[in-house]
Amino acid sequence: MSSKIAAQMYTVREFVKTEKDLAETLARLSKIGYKAVQLSAVAAMNGDDPLVSPALARKMLDDNGIKAIATHRSWDDLAKNTQKEIDFHHAVGCDYAAIGGLPGDYFSRGAEGFSAWVKDAKPVIAKLNAAGIKFGFHNHAAEFERYGAQRKTLYDILIDEGGPELQLEMDVYWVDHAGVNPVRVIERVHGRLDVIHIKDKEVLGWNPGPVMAPIGEGNLDWSELLPALTAAGTKWFAVEQDECRRDPFDCMRSSYEFLSKFKL
């Protein structure tokens, strides 16, 4: 068992819609070897009256020897119902909250919107931090759009203006997909990559071309990426394969077995 490999539940989102489904999915992930998960797109836990309460989710996690090491939550909830979100994270035993991308009303304003969000986020992050919860931003490729005469990227704003309190839940696949060398970005943000997302990129001819794949089945250079992330202080490597061309659990198993060969 590797102590730093986590399963991003978004990968198995179709298998966590009921209480029974969630319990069975956690058991299957634990059997593969995962002892940590990121709670994201877990339908059974969503809504005002969820099928699975935070307390019940914690029991399910504990029963399977699994720790919730991160979440993806709504920015609106984090900003407007901060104490409720703090209570949720404490109940499930999780000390890291993240958002899956910049809200549209900020993103549509480009660089100005990114700067505005960073400013608006700081008091929210401070409240979370005071409660023992770190906050992270998960990227896709669009954050690497360039702007202005200096041709900086929107992601540069998060790095330069966000400060050390803004964790970067970097998805190295999407950084690579944007045409940027992930290692060069990793080198700039040591200490801010506690949780990162990983999947591989496989090429299938001209059509469809590059696609998401289990780690070790594609072309990303893990012999370079994993040491760079370890040097940057990464605590959790969350396996997130948004799209699977075969059974998602088989993909999760393949990724886990490959990563287990490294000293993470």
Question: pLDDT by residue (tens digit) across 51-61?
Answer: 999 999 999 99
Residue 1 reports pLDDT greater than 70: no
Question: What is the rounded distance in angstroms from the CA atom of residue 213 to the CA atom of residue 211?
Answer: 6
Q: How do 152-153 and 166-169 pair as beta strands?
A: unpaired
| pTM, 2 dp | 0.96
Q: Is residue 264 part of a domain?
A: no
Q: Is residue 227 part of a domain?
A: yes
Q: Can you give the CATH number for the domain in which 77 is found?
A: 3.20.20.150
Q: How many domains does the chain have?
A: 1
Q: Is residue 73 part of a domain?
A: yes
Q: Is residue 248 part of a domain?
A: yes
Question: pLDDT by residue (tens digit) across 98-110?
Answer: 999 999 899 999 9
Structure tokens at 172: 């190295």
Q: Are 45 and 52 in contact (CB under 8 A)?
A: yes
Q: Is residue 115 part of a domain?
A: yes
Structure tokens at 117: 């969000």
User: Where in the sequence is the domain holding 158, given as residue range(s)?
Assistant: 5-259
What are the backbone angles phi and psi of residue 127, rounded to the nearest 5°? -65, -40
Question: pLDDT by residue (tens digit) across 136-188?
Answer: 999 999 999 999 998 999 999 999 999 999 999 999 999 999 999 999 999 99
